[in-house]
Copies of this chain bind each other. A is one copy, B any other.
Amino acid sequence: MIRVGILGATGYTGLELIKLLLRHPEAEIVRLTSRQEGRPHIASVHPQLSGRLNLVLEEATADVLADECDVVFSCLPHGASSAAVRPLVELGCKVIDLSADYRLRDGETYRKWYGDHHADIERLGKVPYGLPELFADEIRTADLVANPGCYPTSAILPIAALVKLGLIEPVDLVVDSKSGVSGAGRTPSLTTHFPECNESVAAYGVGHHRHAPEMAQIASLASGTEVELIFTPHLIPMDRGILTTIYARPTSNDSPEKILEALRGFYNNKPFVRIVDHLPATKHVTHTNYCDITVRRSGKRIVIISCLDNLIKGASGAAVQNMNIMFGLSETAGLL
């Protein structure tokens, strides 16, 4: 059994990760940490876990964690995460970081978008981006993996493939995403207060959301071509799920059917990417690790629709998938 520690287990990605790992045949959760005082039982924070996991949330040193855990997942906020991750990596513990800290490829971009609080900024660019469908080889041998953002996963999977396949132009891409509210995390705010966001839709972070540079950098890296895109996220009154609508310029007059066929070839043997003929709804993928993708033509553009569960394929499911690859298990273990 793989002994697992989770840093910052009080949020939604922590909860999903615990639920996935409780069902995993080869993993055992041995440590949960939190900055909360008083060593609360995990079931007092997440009543869903009553009777399912008998652990308390407590502070633990890197030494203890590295000693007791084969792998540590960090669900800490950016900045705090790299500070906790770095000593673990240096102590030889495998780490999957769900924060944004190691996703961007260079310190300059990180500082521009996240500010100066990064404890390990020189490692940027050397840590594999944990999208197994594109970077499995690097992940397999890594000690540290940067788990992708939820929006970026939904955008990079189709964009990187279609750019690499030469089917869309790498420029003037419009990425319009719709996300459930759990993507905003578990800290209450007016924006996520039920009577404010229920029965309402709004865009946010227009033109300056941190996932935009992540999408562009990784899509460029994966496709081998500089990708230029703009990104607009919207908050949707539902718990979970992201639907991303991408407007791209086709490079030819290929029919959507032909493009879908090429995508099927590209993602052949990738169990969690489903290239579908119908227009997918987020409900088809919530509570699963799947990303459903389809393509249509509209005027001079092709429209790509992609959807996933922001907490599973967009966070904790991808993290487990990374763990499976890092430990030589079946990629789908615990995820079907």
The CA of A200 and the CA of B239, in the complex, are separated in Å by 9
CB pair B283–A200 under 8 Å, yes or no, is: yes
Task: Give the size of the chain A interface in residues (CB under 8 angstroms).
Answer: 75
* 12 sample A-B contacts, Cβ–Cβ < 8 Å, listed by A number: A12-B195, A50-B284, A186-B195, A192-B193, A192-B194, A193-B194, A199-B239, A203-B245, A207-B297, A230-B301, A234-B243, A287-B287
Binds B, one of A28-36, A68-76, A274-282: A274-282
CB pair B50–A276 under 8 Å, yes or no, is: yes
CB pair A236–B236 under 8 Å, yes or no, is: yes
Binds B, one of A87-95, A120-128, A174-182: A174-182
- Please tell me which one of the listed residues B181, B206, B207, B274 contacts residue A194 in the complex, with CB atoms under 8 A apart: B181
Within 8 A of B (CB), among A197-244: 197-204, 206-207, 228-232, 234, 236-241, 243
Within 8 A of B (CB), among A236-280: 236-241, 243, 245, 247, 271, 274, 276, 278-280
**Chain A residues proximal to chain B, CB less than 8 Å:** 12, 22-23, 47-48, 50-52, 172, 174, 176, 178, 180-182, 186, 188-190, 192-204, 206-207, 228-232, 234, 236-241, 243, 245, 247, 271, 274, 276, 278-288, 290, 292, 296-301, 303, 305, 307, 336
Known contacts A230-B298, A298-B206; is-contact A193 B186 (Cβ 8 Å): yes
CB pair A207–B276 under 8 Å, yes or no, is: no
The CA of A12 and the CA of B23, in the complex, are separated in Å by 23
- Please tell me which one of the listed residues B50, B182, B203, B299 contacts residue A228 in the complex, with CB atoms under 8 A apart: B299
Give the Cβ gap from A181 to chain B, nearest Cβ, in Å.
Answer: 4
CB pair A195–B207 under 8 Å, yes or no, is: no
Residue of B nearest to A183 (CB): B195
- Give every chain B residue within 8 A of A172 (Cβ-Cβ): 300
Give the Cβ gap from A21 to chain B, nearest Cβ, in Å.
Answer: 12
Q: Which of A47, A182, A197, A279 has the most CB of B within 10 A?
A: A47
